Amino acid sequence: MTSSPTDYTVYTKPECPNCDRTKAYFESKGITYTAVDITENPAALEYITEELGYAQAPVVQNNADDQDHWSGLRRDKLVQASMNRQAA
């Protein structure tokens, strides 16, 4: 990835099939993201649980809209992200 801002942040953990599917979808659509391993980053884990209120990985945060975030494998949100990318 480049040093430019990415479209999304994906909070992930090892051996998480839904995390892998989310990242693979973004890659297939050319959507840039930063992966953050919550098992190695206590501040990230605290952020997604305390600030955002999620208990399931992955947690996906739209870097352009701090109100656009979700947890789990959400195909509807992934398709929406792809459509927004194409419209830009």
Tell me the per-residue pLDDT of 43-59, one tens digit each, with 9 for 90 and over.
999 999 999 999 999 99
23 in any annotated domain: yes
For residue 2, the model assigns a pLDDT of 39
Tokens of 73: 């494998």
86 in any annotated domain: no
84 in any annotated domain: no
State the total domains in the chain.
1
36 in any annotated domain: yes
For residue 86, the model assigns a pLDDT of 77
For residue 1, the model assigns a pLDDT of 35
Higher pLDDT, 3 or 19: 19
DSSP string, 33-49: EEEEETTT-HHHHHIII
Could you list the residue range(s) of the whole structural domain that residue 20 is in?
Answer: 1-66
74 in any annotated domain: no
37 in any annotated domain: yes
71 in any annotated domain: no
CATH code, 12: 3.40.30.10
Residue 65 has pLDDT above 80, yes or no: yes
